[in-house]
């Protein structure tokens, strides 16, 4: 039986989503995130160097690192081989879920509708990523979607920033909140690790009761 995503999270509720163009910067990024108090991060498979970034960040220690934007079984395999402790998908894909089960790694499928949520629950995934959370209607949509499914836990992601964080975290159905606002493409392009540390620390502070 694969451990759940919640046990991998160990209580942390902020999930920086990282799309890293230059794998050589992974160590600096890991240092900035851990200095800001991050205890986990999602490295997306949207760049050719994602595996290298995952390996470097997993080896850095101090953070539980998973893979995001995992669309295929092959990516799931490569992610886990590189050290991913969990797998996130933007959508619901049975093949990705089956592969993650086989690999023994928690998987968080993306959902945007009640139908997709029902499929995910039936497949045994009780934690789902509400994606893209803000364009879908934000907290209001999350509450409406969560109401018939009290067993479901959500990791809303997509268009969320510090100004909206508290409203999501206050919802009991929300396990954690994901987003790139702490380490955006612009921050990474500028190499602004001090700002990444600051924004991470700010998010961590807001997430601590």
Q: Which residue from 16, 36, 66, 68 is in contact with ligand 3PG, where contact means CB under 6 A?
A: 68
Strand ranges for the chain from DSSP E? 14-18, 40-44, 64-68, 87-88, 107-108, 110-111, 127-130, 153-154, 177-179
Work out the number of other CB atoms within 10 angstroms of the CB of residue 85: 20
Residues 1-60 that bind ligand 3PG (CB under 6 A): 17, 44
138-146 vs 162-169: helix axis angle to the nearest 10? 20
Buried b (16+ CB within 10 A) or exposed e, 102-128: ebebbbbbbbbeeebbebbeeeebebb
CA-based torsion, 52, 53, 57, 63: positive or negative = negative
Q: How many residues bind ligand 3PG (CB under 6 A)?
A: 12
Q: Shortest Cβ distance from residue 21 to ligand 3PG (Å)? A: 14
Interacting stretch for ligand 3PG, rule CB under 6 A, among 6-14, 151-159, 187-195, 199-207? 151-159
Q: Which residues pair with 107 in a beta bridge?
A: 87
Q: Which is nearer to ligand 3PG, 44 or 104 (CB)?
A: 44
Interacting stretch for ligand 3PG, rule CB under 6 A, among 99-107, 119-127, 156-164, 188-196? 156-164
Q: Shortest Cβ distance from residue 195 to ligand 3PG (Å)? A: 16
Q: Shortest Cβ distance from residue 202 to ligand 3PG (Å)? A: 15
How far is C-alpha 154 from the geometric centre of its chain's CA atoms? 11
CB-CB contact of 175 with 9 (8 Å):
yes
As to burial, measured by CB atoms within 10 angstroms (0-12 exposed, 13-18 middle, 19+ buried), residue 149 is: middle
Interacting stretch for ligand 3PG, rule CB under 6 A, among 98-106, 145-153, 174-182, 188-196? 174-182
Interacting stretch for ligand 3PG, rule CB under 6 A, among 26-34, 57-65, 96-104, 152-160? 152-160
Q: Which is nearer to ligand 3PG, 154 or 181 (CB)?
A: 181
Residues 179-208 that bind ligand 3PG (CB under 6 A): 179-181
**Residue 158 in the binding site for ligand 3PG (CB under 6 A):** yes
Q: Provide the 8-state DSSP code for 25.
A: G
Q: Which residues bind ligand 3PG (CB under 6 A)?
A: 17, 44, 68-69, 157-160, 178-181
């Amino acid at each position: 039986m694969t451990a759940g995503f919640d046990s991998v999270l160990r209580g942390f509720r902020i999930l920086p989503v990282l799309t890293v163009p230059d794998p050589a910067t992974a160590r600096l990024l890991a240092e900035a995130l851990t200095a800001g108090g991050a205890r986990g991060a999602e490295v997306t498979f949207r760049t050719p160097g994602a595996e290298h970034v995952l390996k470097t960040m997993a080896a850095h220690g101090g953070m539980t690192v998973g893979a995001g934007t995992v669309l295929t079984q092959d990516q799931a395999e490569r992610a886990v081989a590189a050290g991913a402790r969990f797998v996130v998908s933007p959508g619901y894909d049975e093949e990705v879920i089956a592969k993650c089960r086989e690999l023994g790694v928690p998987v968080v499928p993306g959902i945007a509708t009640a139908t997709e949520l029902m499929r995910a629950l039936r497949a045994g995934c009780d934690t789902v990523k509400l994606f893209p959370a803000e364009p879908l209607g934000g907290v209001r949509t999350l509450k409406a979607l969560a109401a018939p499914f009290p067993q479901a836990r959500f990791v809303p992601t997509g268009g969320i920033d510090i100004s909206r964080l508290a409203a999501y975290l206050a919802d009991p159905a929300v396990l954690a909140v994901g987003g790139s606002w702490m380490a955006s493409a612009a921050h990474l392009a500028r190499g602004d690790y001090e700002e990444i540390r600051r924004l991470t620390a700010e998010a961590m502070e807001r997430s601590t009761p």
